[in-house]
Structure 1
Amino acid sequence: MHQKEFPPCEEENKEHQKDCRPTETPLTASIDMGLINEPEVHLLEEVDQTVLSNRILVLSRRNKIRSALEYFRSMELSGLCPTIHACNSLISSLLRNGRFDDCLKVFDFTRRRKITTGHTYSLMLTGLANAQGFHSALKSFKESGSEHDIEKIFDAVVYNTMISICGKFHEWIEIERIWRSMKVKGCAPSQVTYHLLVSSFVRCGQVELALDAYFEMVQNGFEPRTGTMDAIISACAKEGKWDAALGVFQKMVIEGLHPNLVACNALINSLGKAGKLKLAFQAHDVMKSFGHKPDAYTFNALLSALNKANRHFDSLQLFEKIEENELCQLNVHVYNTVLASCSKLGLWDRALQIIYQMEARLSAVTVSYNLVIRACERARKPKIALQVYTRMVHQKCKPDVFTYLSLIRCCIWGDLWQEVEEILKVATPNVSLYNTAVQGMCLRGKINLANKIYDKMRENGLQPDGKTRALMLQNLPKGAVVNR
């Protein structure tokens, strides 16, 4: 029962700076209560439990834990029992001051007196997790949960505390068990419970469980918080469940709620990947109506959506609009997306302009140069591709297999056979590179060179694929045998 606060003593009311302690005569007590930094014990002249409990309450709130412990110890030795409100406040103060061992003693006292509440357990579980780790808190929770009549004490607050603790350690299996357990034991989840369930499951990547918790919350008549709905949108979008994400988004709009920028971006990206270009741009317009300013993630999602729909010219136009109006701070992802558009269209000159801009503002990566080389390949510009490759190496950007594959294909179309050989010498031996080179040489009639590269391929222990072997067999002189 909540009691009216009582001023701890006259001295504190007068001076405000003194540590308030009992003014009664100290006892020479030999009884050890087991508290850390054993407080003094006093003969209490005041025996009203309400008055003394209020003094403990006020002292605890002011973090005067030594005085509060003295009152607490004196009351116990006098056969008096502080109220649970005072005990909980004392436990909370002790936890704030890192006195966990003292908390355990106060907690044991409340259990012996059978005054423990759900709030008490919640405080202790949090303290136990901070002091001894997640597993100790979980063990204590399970042991306490098996006690007789504990259902009367374990309320939603206790379960919420344990769900929150498990969520911090990404223990989604334990979270699910706690959720099922509280329903089996007749403890109805609260709105806070569902919020914790959704956010924890989303953080752990368990989208199906997050959706189960969300729909159960709605079914039980709880109005989801904006943060909960944002989390659901982001989680569904990430897992490709664009229809579920869109449904929650539309519900929020109808109810006058504003999804945050992260949720909007996730939805736009998911719609774009699903080929729902019109819906993606509609979501973008709605997002702007909320007052959100589109960022690099937003525009990258829109550019990717246009590429997905094979509208590469539109993607380039949108990029130019972003640049011209400085709509956002461009990042590597945006540059690479628009370079992919150039690559598809074979716009090698535009790709060069973009990569130069990228170098001036950011550090271009291997993927960026690969896309430019790919644009050169489509445009049949092998010498330009080799220049990009040289610049790439000069910029200390390491080429990969895709770099060399594009270069080899480019050089084959341009009859740059010496360059093909040089590339194979520089690159780490790779079966795809040799297959591409041999096949290109055979198709272009360079049989002698194909034989030379094929032999080199076998020397490196690489196994040709079926197409390479078939082409070599077709072009062998009569009576010759291909080494297996």
Structure 2
Amino acid sequence: MLSNSALSPSLPSSSFLLPAPLPPQPTSAVRVPAKTRTAARLSSSPGGAGGGPKPRRRKPPSPPSEAEEVVRLLLRKSGEPLVATLGKYVRIVRTEHCFLLFEELGKRDQWLQCLEVFRWMQKQRWYIADNGIYSKLISVMGKKGQTRMAMWLFSEMRNSGCKPDSSVYNALITAHLHSRDKVKALAKASAYFDKMKGMERCQPNIVTYNILLRAYAQAGDVKQVEALFKDLEDSIVSPDTYTYNGVMDAYGKNGMIKEMETVLLRMKSNQLKPDVITFNLLIDSYGKKQAFEKMEQVFKSLLRSKEKPTLPTFNSMISNYGKARLRENAEAVFRKMTCMGFKPSYVTYESLITVYGLCDCVSRARQMFDEILETRKEVQASTLNAMLDAYCINGLPTEADRLLDAASEKGLVPNASTYKLLYKAYTKANEKELLNNLLKKMDRQGVVPNKKFFLEALEAFGSPQTEPNEPENSPRSPRILAGTS
């Protein structure tokens, strides 16, 4: 067990609910700018756990810059294409305005308009090809899953006479890591990393290492994380807090607590202060291993430190207490959270619904779900899934089926995970009628299950099972089954 000095106000954290963010990059980079203790421990004082600090007063937002005001003006103009609006204000629009436009349009999923603005920008007298602009565009395309477009921009950049640097390759690596095929993405990223090592002006920097460490940690590839960390130590690049967070995240996700603690001590010996991501990471890792005494110790250290808890801090604790069926502890964390002025997110509510489902409090879970439906404009399908799962794990498949119908009537659209969850539960309960009705609902919604759907839905049973009402060795495929009555 770690000593009190090891778990001091300078502890680490990063939650599985919130992946560790990438470190800030240069201007030319992609981005600008065992038994648990009782619940009373968390709520024994007026402030909750350890009598934590009172809610901080939020500082008023700083006034927008002149460039931000121009961008707001351009985006407020409606009823005409953005390029036409740019034409009207051509005398005042410059590179910095376009850069901010790319950022804002990316947030709005309007990546095509980013390209239109870029083409308009290239026609202006003041335009000079710049790595920073290409890095930003490559980053925007990557976040929207437009890997091919990111590659085209990389090629366009080289054709324009710009020589790639580390920031451009960092953007390209990040773009690939946003693609769906994570195995292929990691292979591509690794290839670019090796290529960077062979070019003097594109040597990997700490941002490069942190991007890859985070990616391998999320993939649970501890060997690659260790190899990359060793490579970093042998280079001239110095690790920072984000680096150690990435390595600890990999160990934490794999339940390697001792290794995680060793990295934490190394981090502190290098005079690097843990940030809130470090604290969240430790809290979640200890929680998953049900080392609640250590988890609570880290939480208290966080409250005493200069860092402050975030919503994922509380969500992680609620979720992990719930998995251990410690309802009172989870509720105490929730009270502490609200006492500190945090507004629950849909993840918070889903975690609590799951807690109540696991602790045989289905009626309380349903009460909370109904409150969400009444008070929230948008309800996530994942919240519906949490409530359906609460019914199913308590042997109430009929109630789950009724809830699905009621939710659909209120406009809450189920997703593939909803149907997998119910298909699995109905099969386990041998509810053939509910199963056939479920397939009809899927058919009406246009959801066509394939072999993968059934295999994933039934994977908990250890081996694939035949579809309902289908004889063994039936030539009919799941695709046909979806349309049967």
TM-score (norm 1): 0.48
RCO higher in structure (CA 8 A, sep ≥6): 2
Q: For the pair shown, which has the larger CA radius of gyration, 1 or 2?
A: 1
- Structure with the larger helix share: 1
TM-score, with structure 2 as normaliser:
0.48
